[in-house]
Amino acid sequence: MQFQWYPGHMTKAKRQMQEDIKLIDLIIELVDARIPFSSRNPDIDELGKNKARLILMNKADLADAKKTEIWSEYFQSKGYFVVCIDARSKNGMKAIQNTIMEACKEKIERDRRRGIKNRPVRAMVVGIPNVGKSTFINTFAGKACTKTGNKPGVTKGKQWIRLNKNVELLDTPGILWPKFEDQMVGLRLALIGSIKDEILNTDELALELLKILLSEYAGVLKNRYDVEETDDAVKMLELIADKRNCRSKGNELDYSKAAALVIDEFRSGKTGRFTIEMPSEGQGV
Ligand code: GDP
């Protein structure tokens, strides 16, 4: 899904989220494991204060496993519970169930002290567009789950998905707006295909990508495209265009075709698994 945000959208999304958050115990926040910083909006920390917090590092199948581990430790050190997943796969869903109970331990114990037994934990999924919220809800809830009807105190139309006797999930995810006013964030979101490519044109985007791969993942372009690596991103694009026979009608090298190819193969994971930002860059969350 590609999207465009306007201030009106953000105000509405924020207001909706404030209402929904009142109904829940736990926020399940999805981030993209390739860009855990740029794919989150820290406003959720203010909106969700006093709530239990679980971060799902999604699309971990496309991310650099070692760096995912570093990010995971980083988020845990900030007090979040963390699970790394591929939302399209059932693997990891059991771990999430267990982590939800762990994250909500205090609430469960408080209930028990008050004589309330078996009140399910209520959770909602949040994240920026395209991060995998719907995919996750589908996989996590599966077919076996029953949707419960409207409940007292719940906005009309809101539905809860009963996952098991312990957990209920709000069926509509909360949409967070990305912080794309920050150029670096915009670039990274564009690289993973989360915002319209028009922030930068495809040629520029590909050159930025090549620069990142050359400096952070030496050898990867050589492996993928069978080209010698140089520090010059334009030269790299030229070599790739040649190798992959990206040519215009007049048989000239077509840089734009090569740029589209490089971006496409990066996004789909064909080039490899990459994480293009680290907590040590000082991007506090
Ligand atoms: P939403 O806008 O947050 O609800 O995102 P979607 O659930 O629609 O997912 C956006 C795209 O990402 C879809 O094409 C999904 O198939 C894909 N996707 C979601 N989760 C994963 C994942 O863990 N790994 C990979 N490779 N793709 C995923």
Tens-digit pLDDT profile for residues 212-268? 999 999 999 999 999 999 999 999 999 999 999 999 999 999 999 999 999 999 999
- Whole-number Å distance between alpha carbons of 28 and 257: 39
For 21, other C-beta atoms within 10 Å of its C-beta total 19
- Whole-number Å distance between alpha carbons of 158 and 171: 7
Q: Tell which atom from ligand 1 comes closest to the C-alpha of 58.
A: 23
Query: How many angstroms is it from 249 CA to the middle of ligand 1?
Result: 36
- Whole-number Å distance between alpha carbons of 93 and 97: 6
Taking residues 24-33, report their average pLDDT: 98
Residue 267 Cβ < 6 Å to ligand 1:
no
Residue 130 Cβ < 6 Å to ligand 1:
yes
Instruction: Report the pLDDT value the prediction gives residue 240, as an integer from 0 to 100.
Output: 98
Instruction: Report the pLDDT value the prediction gives residue 117, as an integer from 0 to 100.
Output: 85
Bridge partners, 162 (sequence order): 146, 168
Indicate the CATH number of 200-281 among 1.10.3730.10, 3.40.50.720, 3.30.420.40, 1.10.1580.10: 1.10.1580.10
Residue 131 Cβ < 6 Å to ligand 1:
yes
Query: How many angstroms is it from 251 CA to the middle of ligand 1?
Result: 38
- Whole-number Å distance between alpha carbons of 37 and 278: 8
The answer to whether residue 271 scores a pLDDT higher than 90 is: yes
Work out the pLDDT band at 1, boundaries 50, 70, 90.
very low
Work out the pLDDT band at 158, boundaries 50, 70, 90.
confident
Instruction: Report the pLDDT value the prediction gives residue 241, as an integer from 0 to 100.
Output: 98
CATH architecture of the domain with range 7-175: 3-Layer(aba) Sandwich (3.40)
HEC assignment per residue over the chain: CCCCCCHHHHHHHHHHHHHHHCCCCEEEEEEECCCCCCCCCCHHHHHCCCCEEEEEEECHHHCCHHHHHHHHHHHHHCCCEEEECCCCCCCCHHHHHHHHHHHCHHHHHHHHHCCCCCCCEEEEEEECCCCCHHHHHHHHHCCCCEEECCCCCCCCCCCEEECCCCEEEECCCEECCCCCCCHHHHHHHHHCCCCCHHHCCHHHHHHHHHHHHHHHCCCHHHHHHCCCCCCCHHHHHHHHHHHCCCECCCCCECHHHHHHHHHHHHHCCCCCCCCCCCHHHCCCC
Range in 81-85, 86-90, 149-153 the model is least confident about: 149-153
Annotated binding-site residue? 251: no
- Domain residue spans in the chain? 7-175, 200-281
Query: How many angstroms is it from 86 CA to the middle of ligand 1?
Result: 9
Range in 58-67, 154-163, 208-217, 233-242 the model is least confident about: 154-163
Taking residues 191-220, report their average pLDDT: 89
Residue nearest to atom 13 of ligand 1 (CA): 132
Q: Average per-residue pLDDT in the chain? A: 90
Work out the pLDDT band at 285, boundaries 50, 70, 90.
very low
> How do residues 103-154 score in pLDDT, each as one tens digit?
999 999 999 999 998 899 999 999 999 999 999 999 998 854 555 554 544 4
Please answer whether residues 237 and 207 qualify as being in contact, where contact means their C-beta atoms are separated by less than 8 angstroms: yes
Residue nearest to atom 26 of ligand 1 (CA): 59
